[in-house]
């Protein structure tokens, strides 16, 4: 697994529907664990997750928190 960039946690919320987007965007959201609008997940801040978020940044809201 990729090392964490920092001791941070990303709170990711799906705010827009993936309908009308490419299959790559939908697959990326599924890989992140997002299925429903308004659903929030927590992921470690890694280069892999950051790359996925860069693809779907128009569909999600991202908040950065310190690791617990």
Residue 12's nearest CA partner among 60, 52, 59, 51 is: 60
Per-residue pLDDT of 2-41, as tens digits, reads 665 678 999 999 999 999 999 999 999 999 999 999 999 9
Locate 13 and state its tokens: 């919320």
- Tell me, which fold does domain 8-66 have in CATH? Ribosomal Protein L30; Chain: A, (3.30.1390)
Q: Where are the domains of the chain?
A: 8-66
Integer-rounded Cα Rg, in Å, for the chain is 12
What pTM, to 2 d.p., does this model score? 0.86
DSSP assigned state of 19: T
């Amino acid at each position: 697994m990729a090392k964490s960039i920092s001791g941070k946690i990303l709170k990711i919320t799906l705010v827009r529907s993936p309908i009308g987007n490419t299959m790559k965007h939908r697959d990326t959201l599924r890989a992140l664990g997002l299925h429903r609008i308004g659903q929030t997940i927590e992921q470690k801040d890694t280069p892999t997750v950051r790359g996925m978020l860069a693809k779907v940044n128009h569909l999600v809201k991202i908040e950065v928190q310190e690791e617990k």
